[in-house]
Amino acid sequence: MEDEQGNRSGYGYEYLQHMLLYADWKYEYVGYDKSWSEMLGMLERGEIDILTSAQKTKDREKRFGFSKNSIGKSKTIVTVKSGNTRYMSGDWRKWSGIRVGMLKNNSRNESFAAFAREKDFSYVPVYFNDMQKMLRELQEGGSIDAVVTSNLRATSSEWVVAEFSPSPFYIITRKEDFALLHEIDDVLSKLQADDVTLEESLMDKFYTPKNGSELPFTVEERKYIENARRSGRRFKAMLNPEWEPFSYRDEQGRPAGAFVEIAKLIAARSGLEFEFITTANREEHLKKKESREADIILDLRCDYNMAEKRGYRLTNPYIHLNVTKLSLKNNHGDMKTVAALRFSNITEQFIKTYFHEKDIVFYDTQQECVDAVLAGRQDCLFLYAGGAQLVMNRDITNSLLANVIYGWKTYYGVGVTYREPPLLASIMDKSMRGLEEREVNDILAKYTAFPHEDLSLKAFLYGNPLFAVGGIFVLSMLAIILVLYLTTRRRRAEALARGRELERFITYVCGANDVVGEVDVSNGTRVLYGVSDGRVMQQTESYSLEKDLLPHIHPDDCERVGALLGAASLGRLVDEGGALYFECRMKNGGGQYEWFSYTVLAMNRESVSRTGFMFFIRCIEEAKRREDMSRRALVDALESARNASNSKSSFLSRMSHDIRTPLNAIIGFTAIARESLSSAAEDRNKALGCLEKTELASRHLLTILNEVLDMASIESGRVKIADVPFDLSGLLSSLESIFSTQARGNGVAFSVEAKDVAGLRLTGDSMRLDQILMNLLSNAVKFTEKDGRVALTAEVVAVKENKVYIRFTVADTGIGIAPEFLEHIFEPFEQQDNSIARQYGGTGLGMSITKNLVGMMHGAISVSSIVGEGSSFSVELPFGISEENGGEPAIGEGTPEAAADKYDFGGARLLLAEDNEMNMEIASEILKSGGFSVDWAKNGEEAVRLFEESPAGYYSAILLDIQMPVMDGYEAARRIRASRHQEAASAVIIAMSANAFAEDVAASLAAGMNDHVAKPIDPAYLFRTLRKYIGGKAG
């Protein structure tokens, strides 16, 4: 959104700003004053490039490109005017006939319709073109009872009565702008990996309700609140009566203090009333807390173990308080003894942990502790920062020094007794959730502010000891004393003015960090700064990296921190200027390691010859914990996905083996029979014709199997896209050679045209590109009648940042595609109608495989068609530009050696391991036809034994099936390689298996085999593979 002064804000705007950390973009903002439907139109027409916060619908997915990763999640909400209780009961029958305001053409309308069907109530939709008009009608008009919107807006004077249909939203671009979309996906992946809490923080910032009427109370919670109001119930609440300035009793004995005002805010936001239980002192307060006399404890320390033992449900914290040490300014020794307040959290948590019992002196009140330190009876006392600030302000002697104990803080929330239902705890938690830190700080400032009344005579005398001496000369020195008095007042006023000037800066810096300080590298000193509502506290002390910091750093981080903050590194930082940021683990006040962030900022001071630096330390333990939780959740999800993928992979492997095994028998017996009949005279032509048709049908069945397994591999994520150099011209030439022959056989003209691609050596996956184009060309030729035309065109459309974008177009004059089928053409198992399926065949998977492969290669595919005139498929793909002259050949590049009809391996002996007798017979006959002698092993164990017992040179090669009983092929290969046989390392081992996936080939090679031949066996390919390793003649 954009206000009248041109200031932009909002969830989408800030998300785009975060993306600039990873992208060299510049934004031009257009269309802030437009409606959502108008902005979609602007995107479609190219008037804008990107649009944020879009949900997926079928219509939008057809019109626009969506980012892979979402940028947030939203819900559909139903809101009514505040105070409208008719629709709060959860009795959906009472909703029947509800008049619901809706925005035209909004995706939330479908969600509400489904919700109404699920809850079985009727409604009357009332449509609006403008969100603001609809919300005004809800508040001021009478035509609607509720509105349906997204929760991604700030509610005002509304109650949320239903939430449903959570769904992600995305960044969208024009459909054809896939280069920009690819860049957006890359940026989002980096941003979301580095900042896992970004979406949560933006949701809190822009969509957390700020007042009670907007809080998202559930139906049950609002009913609980309403019942409490009607019954006039006042919940018994309790606060510590001796904890000034946080909670105490005023002069009239009434509860007062910062926590009391915060409690009133919580009551106003929740709509509940509190009645404070009065206690005489801290001890009585503690006893009543343990006896659970109160319904609500408003100052319960956030310790879930303690809360559970005392019988309270604990909300999230609404404030944290730092521990501060108070001591005399002139006490420069060690703090050996401490004045401690009985029954206080600081005494139990902090003092008893760090001081011996003999060094602790207990007092009943805070003032008694202060007096003990002022009198020198004890060296120090410890209070929370607000209380310490109040003591400092009241110290007219100006004798005390305050030091914040950095890294030690206590969190406070609200405790609700187990006697009350969980609803009350949930209401308290939601009521505090929207409390702004500024509100809480303002309340604390009110109760710890410095008293601006005139100085008393006693305070003046403490501040000006010379005045007491000058009293002896009252008459003679009266004028001097008067001047001194006025001067002191003026200086005090000036000091207060300077303090106010520093207040904004120091308050912000110290509020945002746990430790703020300055180091002077020239004299080895540091100054620690602190502030509490305008009063700056500082402590100067000597500083040494080795003594004062590194002993507190985690051992695993110590070396790195020492290098970053060493003299050489900081010297360069100071000399060159700039800033340094890092994160490490450091001990907190409790001696436990927590994550802290360090920001070191060089300072240049013209008054000295050597500069120094400021440092800012902030505890980020909670952020790290949330980050670790998110990462663990991702790891768990990844592990679950991996387990599911492994299960599917196992299934696919079994399916491949079980289906290919009988196919091997069909094709193998066909080849053997044809070889046997080749010399027979009787009915030879008829038998050969039948066998050829049988072989053709078997290979067609194999094609169908390959398509089904390809589709399953894509869905399971097993298909990997390669990125290796290849020659595009060679690939196109291969396709032209293959399809020219096929097209001529069908009486179809076929042509290939390459524009600006000659000599281009690209990097990418040539095998998948070949598969895409072959699928498209096969369909084009198949569905084009005689005298028709099929054309393949390749042209460069853009070159950007070492990427070349190429458009491949396959156009035909075939039968065309019906408009109603175009919407489903890329869906698996879809064909235009049964008659076409019967006439032309096919699985209906080819186009789906093609679409998926194009997507995996970050490309786009589109189609246009007219029935009776033909179709045109366009594929745009990005490729890298290879700087090499060589590289892997493309599929079909060059001309492979022609398969010979006959091979003669001169009686070479092979060891064949095959558990299936039919497969053994087929393989043996094929191998014998090439001049081999064959020994048969029924499993891997028997193959290992035969090899180990054989003399050197006895077997020319070993052929191993993979899935065999007793011992599989992988283990057999490993045993052979590990044996003591003379030829263990040099023996030729070839896998011959129905396991045919790429990972199966890799597994064979990893087990020590030389090559892999897939079943059904292609005799020519098998013989070429064997000749590669052991020689042989082709005749």
Cβ-based neighbour number of residue 959 at 10 Å:
27
Same domain for 474 and 447: no
Q: Which among 711, 735, 762 is the end of a domain?
A: 711
Q: How many angstroms separate the Cα of 835 from the Cα of each of 593, 831, 840, 866?
A: 73, 10, 9, 19
Same domain for 508 and 482: no
Query: At a CB cut-off of 8 Å and minimum separation 6, what does 685 contact?
Result: none
Q: Which residue carries 């800012």 as its tokens?
A: 616
Query: How far is residue 326's CA from residue 312's CA, in Å, rounded to a whole number?
Result: 33
Q: Is the dihedral of CA 574, 579, 582, 585 positive or negative?
A: positive
DSSP-based three-state secondary structure for 516: strand
Same domain for 695 and 730: no
Query: How far is residue 411's CA from residue 340's CA, in Å, rounded to a whole number?
Result: 20
Query: At a CB cut-off of 8 Å and minimum separation 6, what does 305 contact?
Result: none
Q: What element of type H or E holds 715?
A: helix 684-715
| Residue 308's CATH number | 3.40.190.10
1 lies in some domain:
no
| Contact indicator for 935, 946 with CB cutoff of 8 Å | yes
- The total of structural domains in the chain comes to 7
Task: Report pLDDT for 499.
Answer: 54
Q: Which of 981, 958, 973, 963 is nearest to 1005 (CA)?
A: 973
3 lies in some domain:
no
Q: Which residue type does 974 have?
A: R
Same domain for 1003 and 1016: yes
867 lies in some domain:
yes
Same domain for 269 and 197: no
DSSP state of 350: I
Q: How many CA atoms lie within 13 A of 824 on its CB side?
A: 10
Q: Which of 854, 799, 845 is nearest to 826 (CA)?
A: 845
Same domain for 577 and 652: no
Assigned token pair, 870: 């033909």
183 lies in some domain:
yes
Same domain for 26 and 158: yes
Query: How far is residue 911's CA from residue 947's CA, in Å, rounded to a whole number?
Result: 8
Q: Which domain holds residue 509?
A: 501-624
| Residue 613's CATH number | 3.30.450.20
Same domain for 438 and 402: yes
| Contact indicator for 748, 861 with CB cutoff of 8 Å | no
Q: How many angstroms separate the Cα of 846 from the Cα of each of 129, 706, 773, 841, 869?
A: 44, 11, 11, 12, 22
- Displacement of CA 82 from its chain's centroid (Å): 36
| Contact indicator for 328, 373 with CB cutoff of 8 Å | yes
| Contact indicator for 179, 233 with CB cutoff of 8 Å | no
635 lies in some domain:
no
Query: How far is residue 1035's CA from residue 1032's CA, in Å, rounded to a whole number?
Result: 10
Q: What element of type H or E holds 101?
A: strand 98-103
Residue 755 forms beta bridges with which residues? 795
Cβ-based neighbour number of residue 411 at 10 Å:
14
228 lies in some domain:
no
Q: Which of 564, 586, 579 is nearest to 615 (CA)?
A: 579
Q: Which residue type does 886 have?
A: G
| Contact indicator for 971, 978 with CB cutoff of 8 Å | no
DSSP-based three-state secondary structure for 667: helix
Task: Report pLDDT for 361.
Answer: 96
Q: Which among 711, 730, 759 is the end of a domain?
A: 711
Q: How many residues does the chain have?
A: 1035
Same domain for 956 and 915: yes
Same domain for 115 and 32: yes
DSSP state of 888: P
| Residue 682's CATH number | 1.10.287.130
| Contact indicator for 405, 325 with CB cutoff of 8 Å | yes
Q: Which among 397, 429, 453 is the end of a domain?
A: 453
Task: Report pLDDT for 92.
Answer: 85
Supply the Cα-derived Rg of the chain in whole angstroms. 41
Q: Which of 901, 956, 904 is nearest to 934 (CA)?
A: 956
Query: How far is residue 1016's CA from residue 662's CA, in Å, rounded to a whole number?
Result: 9
1035 lies in some domain:
no
Same domain for 100 and 15: yes
Mean pLDDT per 10-residue section of the chain, whose length is 1035 residues? 74 91 90 82 93 88 93 90 77 89 90 92 93 92 92 81 89 92 93 86 70 65 87 93 89 90 88 90 87 90 90 90 91 90 88 91 94 94 91 86 85 93 91 76 79 49 52 59 70 62 61 80 79 68 84 92 83 75 88 89 54 82 83 76 56 55 66 62 57 58 63 67 85 86 89 84 88 91 92 90 90 90 74 52 72 90 92 94 56 38 82 92 91 95 96 95 94 95 94 79 90 88 90 59
pTM: 0.43
Q: How many CA atoms lie within 13 A of 1003 on its CB side?
A: 17
Same domain for 802 and 918: no
227 lies in some domain:
no
| Residue 927's CATH number | 3.40.50.2300
